[in-house]
């Protein structure tokens, strides 16, 4: 009999552990969702702050200009961007890399 009650006890512990893990997974999924939403809403600032070679205020100015340009591009080719997140990030990243390359080239010409 004690063997049978031990199995039931282990089964109860297993179910309790499963419930804890499901709760933890649900919490982690929500946390990841919040972080992805933050990234979606702030990707342009995050990219520009990380990559643009200017001060914070200059990065904000450049970022606002790029956002205006991007809005025009998105309106010109809506099917390429409509409801899509990745193409917008790629567009911003390409623009930032172009600015960085332009600034580096300009600095090298100024030195030489």
What confidence score (pLDDT) does residue 61 get?
78
Q: Give the single-character DSSP code of 112.
A: -
Residue 91 has pLDDT above 90, yes or no: no
Distance from the Cα of residue 80 to its chain's centroid:
20
Q: Give me the pLDDT at residue 7, please.
A: 60
As a whole number of angstroms, the distance between CA 90 and CA 67 comes to: 13
> Could you report the per-residue pLDDT of 45-89, keeping only the tens digit for each?
777 677 666 677 777 777 777 778 777 777 777 776 666 666 667
pLDDT for 4 beyond 80? no
Question: Which residues fall within 8 angstroms of residue 52, CB to CB, at 6 or more apart?
Answer: 58, 59, 62, 63, 96, 99, 100
Range of the domain at 52: 2-111
Question: Does 24 have pLDDT greater than 90?
Answer: yes
What is the structure's pLDDT at 36? 87
Q: pLDDT averaged over the chain?
A: 76
Q: How many domains does the chain have?
A: 1
Angle at which helix 86-111 crosses helix 2-51, to 10 degrees, equals 40
Tokens of 2: 């004690």
Residue 5: what pLDDT? 54
């Amino acid at each position: 009999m004690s063997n049978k009650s031990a199995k039931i006890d282990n089964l109860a512990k297993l179910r309790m552990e499963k419930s804890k893990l499901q709760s933890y997974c649900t919490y982690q999924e929500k946390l990841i969702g919040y972080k992805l939403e933050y990234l979606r809403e702030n990707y342009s600032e995050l990219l520009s702050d990380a990559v643009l070679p200017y001060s914070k205020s200059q990065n904000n100015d450049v970022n606002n200009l790029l956002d205006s340009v991007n809005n025009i591009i998105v309106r010109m080719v809506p099917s390429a961007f409509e409801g899509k997140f990745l193409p917008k990030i790629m567009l911003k990243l390409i623009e930032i890399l172009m600015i960085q390359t332009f600034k580096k080239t300009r600095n090298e010409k100024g030195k030489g």
